[in-house]
């Protein structure tokens, strides 16, 4: 009986576990320990949904990024920072004459100021929530992505 209950719990939880996906990739040649300062560029939305495409949501995400990076010892500087952090939210899909919101995406890119080179890219995707639920969870999504920054250096 206990095995049947455990199996039922796994089956019920599987859609919840599969609803969110995250992926991070980093430049393995970059010395992340040399990076000490950051600035945040203006966020943008790739959706027309008002729940996601507004300046208050952008501010919440920027604040969450600031908190995470400051907690890692980086300092925000508006001029001449080592890296620039940009982010994009939402994702609409064309569907005939209209568009369909089929996944909430948060994408964070970190580029070097000096060479304008992408050194870190994180994507969090939620394809089971409504735009309003995605908007409510965006700060938490930042907290799930940025622990992977800086990436752990691989031993040679």
Please write the tens of the pLDDT for every residue from 112-155.
Answer: 998 889 999 999 998 888 889 999 999 999 999 999 999 986 65
Report the mean per-residue pLDDT for the chain: 85
Q: How confident is the model at residue 93 (pLDDT cuts 50, 70, 90)?
A: confident
User: Is the pTM of the predicted complex or chain greater than 0.75?
Assistant: yes
Give the rounded percent of residues in the chain with a pLDDT score beyond 70: 85
Structural fold of domain 21-148? Double Stranded RNA Binding Domain (3.30.160)
Give the rounded percent of residues in the chain with a pLDDT score beyond 90: 62
- In tens, the pLDDT along 51-76 reads 999 999 999 999 999 999 999 999 99
Spatial separation of the C-alpha atoms in residues 134 and 90, rounded to whole Å: 9
Kindly tell me if the per-residue pLDDT of 16 is higher than 90. no
Classify burial at 144, counting beta carbons within 10 Å of its beta carbon; exposed 0-12, middle 13-18, buried 19 or more.
middle
Domain range summary for the chain, segments of one domain joined by +: 21-148
Spatial separation of the C-alpha atoms in residues 121 and 26, rounded to whole Å: 6
Q: How confident is the model at residue 13 (pLDDT cuts 50, 70, 90)?
A: very low
């Amino acid at each position: 009986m206990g095995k049947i209950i455990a199996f039922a719990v796994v089956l019920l939880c599987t859609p919840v576990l599969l609803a969110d996906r995250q992926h991070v990739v980093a430049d393995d040649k970059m010395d992340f320990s040399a990076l000490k300062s950051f600035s945040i560029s203006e966020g943008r939305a790739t959706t027309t949904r008002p729940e996601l495409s507004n300046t208050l949501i952008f501010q919440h995400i920027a604040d969450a990024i600031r908190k995470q990076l400051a907690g890692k010892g980086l300092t925000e500087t508006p001029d001449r920072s080592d890296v620039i952090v940009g982010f994009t939210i939402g994702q609409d899909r064309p569907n005939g004459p209209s568009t369909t919101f089929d996944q909430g995406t948060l994408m964070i890119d970190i580029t070097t100021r000096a060479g304008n080179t992408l050194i870190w890219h994180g994507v969090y995707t939620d394809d089971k929530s409504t735009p309003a639920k995605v908007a409510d969870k965006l700060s938490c999504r930042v907290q799930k992505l940025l622990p992977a920054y800086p990436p752990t250096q691989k031993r040679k």
